[in-house]
Amino acid sequence: MEIDTRDITNFAAALATAPKEFQATLKKGLDGLLSYGVKTAKGFAPKQTGALAAAIRVLEPTSIGATITGSYGVQKTSALPYPFMREYGGTIVPVRAKYLVFRGRDGGLVFAKSVTQKGTRYMNRSFDIVRPRLIPVAEAAAARLLARFG
């Protein structure tokens, strides 16, 4: 029986690069999930003007280190005053006027001292769709790496 030390050396070299390859594959998969999350959230966002959907983006690209981070949504510094309200709901009151004025469903003007609305949970609904895909992304990255050693 003969042992070829090149196989052991090649295996050791491949093993040394494994963490970087796993992280790169995992990052690519998670970046794809962030993009999918943005697309899904935009689909769920209320679209009276389209401004809210247009403001949804990747906020923090995937980063893999001691922890894995990445996020999507609407920046807190956004000029839009209502993303939080559209997500969770609440009461709107006039700030510089006596009444809120808006068009009703019949097209006529409505004057109100306050309006309470339900949240649409557009971001939570998108995350409920993205979340179950996290583990399969990690499993696919691990399977791709293990296939090199099979």
Answer yes or no: is 82 within a domain.
no
Answer yes or no: is 125 within a domain.
yes
State the pLDDT at residue 11: 67
Query: Which residue from 71, 61, 62, 63 is spatially nearest to 123, judged by alpha carbons?
Result: 71
The domain of 59 spans 5-77+121-147
State the pLDDT at residue 149: 66
Answer yes or no: is 41 within a domain.
yes
Q: What is the pLDDT along the chain (150 residues), one digit of tens a residue?
A: 566 677 667 767 766 777 888 888 999 999 999 999 999 999 999 988 899 999 999 999 999 877 888 999 999 888 888 899 899 999 999 999 999 999 988 999 999 999 999 999 999 999 999 999 999 999 998 898 888 766
CB count within 10 Å of CB 87 equals 21
State the pLDDT at residue 64: 87
Answer yes or no: is 89 within a domain.
no
Answer yes or no: is 114 within a domain.
no
State the pLDDT at residue 15: 66
Answer yes or no: is 20 within a domain.
yes
Answer yes or no: is 38 within a domain.
yes
Asked whether 81 and 75 are in contact (CB, 8 A), the reply is: no
Task: Count structural domains, the chain.
Answer: 1
